[in-house]
Amino acid sequence: MVGRHIHMQSPGKVSIITQNRRMREILKMADKVAVSDSSILLVGETGVGKEIFADHIHRVSNRTQGPSVKIGLSAMPPDLMASELFGYEKGAFTSANETKIGLFEVASKGTVFLDDVDDIPMDIQAKLLRILECGELTRVGGTRPIPINIRLISASKVDLNQMVKTHSFRSDLFYRINVVTIEIPPLRERLDDIPLLVEHFIRRYAPNRNLSITHEALSYLMNYHWPGNLRELRNVIHRATLFAQKEISLEEIAPEIRNNNPVETIIGACSVCFDERGMHFGRIIACLEHKLILEALKRAGGNQSQAAKLLNLSLSTFRDKMKKYQENPSDCHDLI
């Protein structure tokens, strides 16, 4: 599990653990924009660690001494959202027996992290837009604008561009919240980080035990698709530490990972390789080959020479295969 990696730290906390090349580049970008007050949009699947990124950005920013307020919009009832976010004045509604300060006021001079911003209703979107444009808010039932000074970090699990096209998300708000967009890759695209993350979670959940993990168990973790991303890995290791004695073996790993069949995974990924008559062997091979080429290019940052090395191919052979799929996209038409 030893390797060159980054533990991005700030006062007493580990923020990001990675040795993945793409993740290191993303972290560099995050650090550059953190020192500004620009709004940031974090995009990624559920469980990839968007909140961890938001924590990191806050701690390396100039607002680190200010509050960091995290708001999960998907768990907030729509009819209470305005009063929770922006506060309300005494007498604003029947049960408003006293003035309440909203979460945005609480975060003044600090950072607001809006998780699942794609779940925000249209009427609240208009209020949020005004806050970002004018730097002030009006509490529910109030008439006096209140100046606030916040840095907004939003997170979305879906494509907001598509929501804008379907008129379910305001285009003007979209442009305000994504001055900088940071796309966080899923765990299946940074498998080289799994040994480091496993080691970290073992230390977190079994700090006083000298636990290790077997090569067999780690191999299964490295070959799993991780639909739940970091959150799923964390829970798997947490469970394993509860049952393991001296080391985490395959028996302590969750059944869905132990029973994961690599052949079925490959076949499932090549869905177009099947038709009414069943499997087409040549099409499966072409599909798998093309997926490997695309993945190698992604991990090599588009560098063909490095991608060829990852696949143990000569550069000329690699380029021939690339040319083949560019000229005959029907050989793998689910990927084009």
Does the pLDDT value for residue 270 go beyond 70? no
Counting the structural domains of the chain, the total is: 3
Q: Which helix (H) or strand (E) holds 307?
A: helix 304-310
Check whether residue 235 and residue 151 sit in a common domain: no
Same domain, 249 and 302: no
Query: Is residue 306, in this structure, part of any structural domain at all?
Result: yes
Please tell me the predicted confidence (pLDDT) of residue 6.
Answer: 40
pLDDT of the residue at 11:
37
Sign of the CA dihedral running 222, 228, 234, 236: negative
- Same-domain pairing of 256 and 296: no
Per-residue pLDDT at 234 exceeds 70? yes
In this prediction, residue 12 has a pLDDT band, given cuts at 50, 70 and 90, of very low
Q: Does 162 share its domain with 199?
A: no
Q: CA 62 → CA 32, 56, 71, 250, distances in Å?
A: 12, 12, 21, 45
Q: Are residues 64 and 155 part of one domain?
A: yes
Q: Give the pLDDT confidence of 290-312 residue by residue, as tens digits.
A: 878 887 887 777 888 888 888 88
Share of the chain above pLDDT 70, in %: 87
Tell whether the model's pLDDT for residue 334 goes beyond 70: no
**Which of 210, 234, 260 lies at the terminal end of a domain, its last residue?**
260
Do 149 and 252 belong to one domain? no
Final residue belonging to a domain, choices 156, 183, 210: 183
Domain enclosing residue 251, as ranges: 189-260
The mean pLDDT value for 158-172 works out to: 92
Arithmetic mean of pLDDT, 178-189 = 93
- pLDDT band, very low/low/confident/very high, at 280 (cuts 50, 70, 90): low
Q: Using one digit for the tens of pLDDT, what is the confidence trace for 204-218?
A: 999 999 999 999 999
Is residue 281 domain-shared with residue 172, that is, in the same domain?
Answer: no
Within this chain, do residues 138 and 121 fall inside the same structural domain, yes or no?
Answer: yes
Count of all residues that appear for the chain in the document: 336
Q: Do the Cβ atoms of 113 and 99 come closer than 8 Å?
A: no
What is the pLDDT of the chain when averaged over all its residues? Answer: 85
pLDDT for 189 beyond 60: yes
pLDDT exceeds 90 at position 195: yes
Indicate if 245 and 203 belong to the same structural domain: yes
Task: Verify that 79 and 172 share a domain, yes or no.
Answer: yes
Q: Establish if 265 belongs to a structural domain.
A: no
Q: What is the pLDDT of residues 117-158, one digit of tens each?
A: 999 999 999 999 999 999 999 998 888 999 999 999 999 988
Q: How confident is the model at residue 333 (pLDDT cuts 50, 70, 90)?
A: very low
Does pTM surpass 0.85? no
47: left (phi over 0), alpha (psi -120 to 50) or beta: left
Decide if 40 contacts 63 (C-beta within 8 A): no
Are both 281 and 214 inside the same structural domain? no
pLDDT of residue 60: 93
The β-bridge relationship of strands 274-275 and 278-279 is antiparallel
What burial class does residue 144 get, using C-beta atoms within 10 Å of its C-beta: 0-12 exposed, 13-18 middle, 19+ buried? exposed
